[in-house]
Amino acid sequence: MTVWEEMERQEHLRLNPLAAFSDCSKGRPHPEEPREEDVRTCYQRDIDRIVHSKSFRRLMHKTQVFLRPEGDHYRTRMTHTLEVTRIARTVTKALGLNEDLTEAIAMGHDLGHTPFGHAGEDALTRCLGKPFRHNEQSLRVVDVLENDGRGLNLTHEVRLGILGHTGEHIPETLEGQIVRRSDQIAYVNHDIDDAIRAGILTNEDIPRAITNVLGYNHRDRINTLVCDAIRTSREAKAISLSEPVDKALQDLRSFMFEKVYRNPVAKGEETKAKDMLRRLYEYYMDNPQALPEDFQPQLSFDGMERTVCDYIAGMTDKYAVDKFTEIFVPAGWRVRG
């Protein structure tokens, strides 16, 4: 028996019968035969493919909420991803489900995010004249754009978990549903933390009706939500929160949209960021020859609009600023570091 076969056997011995077992995966878009010397299950291989991808490395230079904040302690899209992964793995382990599948989905769920956070998403929506959804772009990254256009060839369960971490599509696995819920738990709470650090919010500002249920500080809120998710999901055999905790979380999200996500301090530079991406989009649509060499072949089968969109969506914040400066700012006016 190979190492990976033994690991698959052990899954059946120790995991909840409701878990997504590695040897029951619906497979990959392009079938692959496991190698005898491999020591990983299919979901473990997916984790490694994501973590070693270029799009994953770029997450460390992409905005979460605050555009170019002063200080080293604000979240980036990378740190958000890691926080989601830790919350999701905690819930998954407590429920006896497949931690490897959960980790793969969580690590890949935001690979398609634009520069400048949701401001970039809004900008590309305006440019395209139709919704740009980062969850759909994340799936496109792992299916098509990574690995020089060959994609990462991930398993069905990971791919649909990435697609379903937000939006209308609900993942078919419990592990994918855990990531979807963990994403909400993570971003609402760490965005509060960043907003307090930025001086636009205090713990006292959060309505008492919410803090009475979830807790007064970051640690207590996370603990309440995670423990409630575990307890309620065990009883329901589905990933869910109890009614009062779920209501408090939704009320907290509404509060954050009102006080932080639409706050002029947090979003004061977004208009500039959106305009920057719009002008880059228009420039490359008018000058497709200026696209990098590795994007040129894509023009022939995906068309100009899709190719330009993929290029801009993959940019980091700094790279977008640098390209804008290179194209639109006269050389003598550029700031030299």
Q: What is the pLDDT of residues 152-184, one digit of tens each?
A: 999 999 999 999 999 999 999 999 999 999 999
More confident residue, 161 or 71: 161
Partners of residue 76 on adjacent β-strands: 63
pTM: 0.94
**pLDDT mean across residues, the chain:** 93
Asked if the model's pLDDT at residue 307 lies above 80, the reply is: yes
Dist. CA 9–CA 279, nearest whole Å: 54
pLDDT confidence band for 332 (50 / 70 / 90): low
Percent of residues, the chain, with pLDDT higher than 70: 95
Asked if the model's pLDDT at residue 196 lies above 60, the reply is: yes
pLDDT confidence band for 1 (50 / 70 / 90): confident
pLDDT confidence band for 66 (50 / 70 / 90): low
Instruction: Give residue 315's pLDDT.
Output: 97
Instruction: Give residue 35's pLDDT.
Output: 82
pLDDT confidence band for 34 (50 / 70 / 90): confident
Short-list 81, 92, 99, CA closest to 41: 99
Give φ, ψ of 63 to 5 degrees.
-65, 140
Instruction: Give residue 280's pLDDT.
Output: 98
Partners of residue 63 on adjacent β-strands: 76
pLDDT confidence band for 16 (50 / 70 / 90): very high
CA distances from 200 to 20, 21, 68, 95, 273 (A): 42, 45, 16, 37, 21
pLDDT confidence band for 270 (50 / 70 / 90): confident
Asked if the model's pLDDT at residue 331 lies above 80, the reply is: no
Give the three-state DSSP class for 169: coil
pLDDT confidence band for 37 (50 / 70 / 90): confident
Give the tokens for residue 241. Answer: 């929160």
| Length of the chain in terms of residues written | 337
Instruction: Give residue 63's pLDDT.
Output: 80
CA distances from 270 to 110, 198, 275 (A): 20, 16, 8
